[in-house]
Structure 1
Amino acid sequence: MKKLLFACDGDNFSYSALELAANMNKQEKILLKGAFLPSIDYSRMGSFTYANSYTGFIPPDFYEREEETMNRNIRQFEDLCKENNISYNINKYTNFESLQGLLGETRFSDMILIGSEHFFSAMGSDQPNAEMIRLLHDTECPAFLIPDELREPESILFAYDGESACMAALKQFSRLMISYTDLPLTVVFFSFSHGERLPYEDAAKEYIKCHFKDFTVKVEDGGKIKDLDEWIEAYPNPLIITGAYSRSGFSRIFKKSFISTVIANHQFPVFLFHGK
């Protein structure tokens, strides 16, 4: 049995994340821990009030409405878990630093499921916002970012740079998401030097071959790729695996991190783990 963490802040209840959990539960029984948080992290209340033009004040019924919303989502979560025969537990975070409480829970979870389009959107509507960035930096278990419309993946795109983090992500994916390992996997490495080969090529291929039936390796010339959006659209409905929320060869091309671009511009599921 695996323990998955379902994160829900404010009204941002991810039905696609619950659907994924239900599908995983059909293959192997899981324990789904529902983590219900206010729509804002109170430790950043100053940023929230400024951004929403409350001039330092919040509506008088704000806390009551937050409580009602969390309770409504908890009831919905319970109903859907019972309907799908999922074992579940619930934790409602109402403390000052709710996001820190969620991060603490990741230490005791196999994976956290996050709706990628609206996570803490009250704090910042453009994703990835500061709260998502903090979560991806500090989570102690793999994070699966799931768009509102979860289409069945047709392929897997593994962003490989030879660092330990990307292999940690692939190992966790192979362990947690076994049903997806039948999909064709493309290992992509971006080269910035003439003749540069896949780092640790023989060892990497040996490991991947043990877990994926159909895989190919592509060494791309990083200097020739000018538009990440155009490049990624060449892959059919991919599920993306990446090792860390940090700058790498991808960001040297596009001046921002690969994962930020994917989250902001594409409705693809992303499996991420930094391995620390």
Structure 2
Amino acid sequence: MIKRILVALDPDGDTPVATRYAIRLAKKFDAELTGLAVVDVGNLNTMIGVGGYGTEYAAREVWVEMTEETQKVAQNLLNVFKKSVEKEGIRHRDLKQQGASAELIIEEMKYHDLLVLGRDSKFFYSEPDKDTRTLAKVVKGGVSPTLVVTDEYREIENIMIAFDGSSAAARSLKAFVHLLPYGKDIEIDLVNVADGESSEAMEKSASILKMAENYLKAHNFNYIIKTVLEKGEPGLRILDRQLMKNPDLLLLGAHSVSAVKRTAFGSTTHYLITSTMGPLFLSP
């Protein structure tokens, strides 16, 4: 059951779509929406820095100016959010907080059932295109499921579940089943990428999908097809299937990686987040 939804606000084209998805769910569940705008002073401090004796005052002046500008952007985002939800008669809270964006979003996730945000959100209002890796940090460090959207809105009638049997994939599957955001009558395309071309590898994949299907059917999801995809790069295989079937939503797990990798996602998750044409549902 969804009763509280958090919308992380950012000055990008995805945020109005995220708000629209959140409003749709709030109407369905009579839920409350929280719009969160963050004045990310942590990234401001890193960007400005202090070059040495005599520069501290100048740096402080720049910091004050950029913080004030960021405050204005944050307030404008909240104003737009408030106008959108009040037009639809949705109960809401508006929060403007100052600190590290990822940490503040994660803290608010503790008290919400679902986070909705845009795929291109960086949450650094002074430099909207700066890669802060906030999305990866939030999905991996949060305690609630996340709906990541693009700049296109869709009504959710059919979904694709990329299920490899891992704990991460199982957590996303269970979170989706327990929240039940789009009901039980949706069509589900349950897919797994085989580890090899042998009959044993294909049977293993089929067995993994069968167990996932049994779990879904136990929760009264009945419109399910299962597909074992041929061996290959998982991200490419899943994206090819997504492009062919055009599901309204893709569900997958958020995988951890070693510290030397560029993102906090596994390579498959990162590839799909950056390449997908539709929304994704993930759980930490």
TM-score, normalised on structure 1?
A: 0.80
Aligned equivalent of 1:215, options 224, 230, 233: 224
Query: Is 1:113 the equivalent of 2:121?
Result: no
Alignment of 1:86-235 (within 5 A): 86-95=90-99, 97-120=100-123, 125=129, 130-153=133-156, 155-193=158-196, 194=198, 195-196=200-201, 197-198=204-205, 199-200=207-208, 202-209=210-217, 210-223=219-232, 227-228=236-237, 229-235=239-245
Letter in 2 for 1:204: A
2:280 counterpart (262, 270, 273):
270
Q: Rg bigger for which structure? A: 2
Post-superposition shift, 1:152? 2.9
Aligned to 2:24: 23
Q: Secondary structure at the match of 1:25?
A: helix
Does the CA contact (< 8 Å) of 1:155 and 1:235 recur in 2? no
CA contact (8 A) 2:250 2:280 kept: yes
Q: Using the alignment, how far apart are the partners of 1:232 and 1:81 within structure 2?
A: 31
Q: Write out per-residue CA displacement over residues 164-218 of structure 1, whole angstroms, 9 at most, x where no aligned residue.
A: 3222212221233442542321111111132222355554222112342211111
Partner of 1:90, secondary structure, is: strand
For structure 1, list consecutive stretches of 5 or more residues without a partner in the other structure: 51-55, 248-255
Q: What is the Cα deviation at residue 6 of structure 1?
A: 0.8
1:258 counterpart = 2:261: no
Indicate the residue corresponding to 1:251 in structure 2: none
Distance (whole Å) between structure 1 residues aligned to residue 191 and residue 14 of structure 2: 33
Instruction: Measure the CA separation in 2 of the matches of 1:83 and 1:237.
Output: 29
State the percentage of identical aligned residues. Answer: 21
User: What is the number of residues matched between the two proteins?
Assistant: 257
The two structures have a TM-score, normalised by structure 2, of: 0.78
Give the C-alpha shift of residue 13 in structure 1: 7.2
Q: Is the 8 A contact 1:11 1:69 kept in 2?
A: no
